[in-house]
Structure 1
Amino acid sequence: MDVEDADFKPLTAEQAQQLRDANPEPSPWWVIVAQVVAGLVVAGIAWVWTGRPVAGVSALYGALAVAIPAALFVRGAMRGTQAGHPSAAMLRFFVWELIKLALTVAFLAAAPWVIGDLSWLAMLAGIVAAMKMYWVALVVRPRLLNRI
């Protein structure tokens, strides 16, 4: 018997429930909301800074090109997570991640046609702001790192 095995004590059902109650699962939807809010903030800054409304629209479009596919990913990947086989859950995760990436690329490829006189720099700022919300989620929720 290994030393690590000797230190391991399985939890009772009651202890496991207390642990779950003390550490509730955070909702991934607040990250999506933060991405949209960050996009709105960057859009406002871009509009005011350049004096061109199209810069604000471009920045918001960039943030939405990240947030909308992420929202679809969360909806698709989280569906049916309570029951099912773990390998099916992993497959569902990877399929929805692929869909998310493909939709993001499609949004970005369509940008010049959707927004006339697109401001590429403002759109990039919106993309970066929305993507940084994943890092903000880790900083705001440091307890998640302790669980890993």
Structure 2
Amino acid sequence: MKTVFSILALSLAFANLVACSSTSDNSLLTNDATSASSSVNTTPNATELSIASDAGSIVIPSGADQFEISGNCYTSTYTAHYITVSLVNLNANTSSQLATMDPKLGANSNQSLCRNGRYDVIVYSGALASGSNSVKVQLYVLDNGSYTTNDANSSQVITVIK
């Protein structure tokens, strides 16, 4: 019985020693205060811009005069931005902005905003032809006094069937 108590006491002492001391230089088991050696870069970067629709194609129900596009977006650390929706002719390389509404901005705002990494825009379908249409969602940011975009990541073409 004395041996059992000795082993138990030795085990508790060892467990206390291990639990109260750090096991490596990078251990979280320490009371040492650490300071951040680097700071976060808050410089806006156009290559970080992105926009992605939740759906690659949308079918407008018969008789509907509007449809909704929503998805993920990222504006880097730019202070001002907006999102537009345009009807594009991929063969002629032309586009025309569609009448849109951001539910939070109100009727006929013709642009939307990225909020908490998401966007939502209602598009009026009157300018769309029957059949398949290419619709481009584009993110613009205010950079050095003018609005600019990064076509590589901040635009997406969606097929809309009317």
More helix by share: 1
TM value normalised by structure 1: 0.30
More strand by share: 2
TM value normalised by structure 2: 0.29
Greater Rg by CA: 2
Q: Which has the higher contact order (CA 8 A, sep 6+)?
A: 1
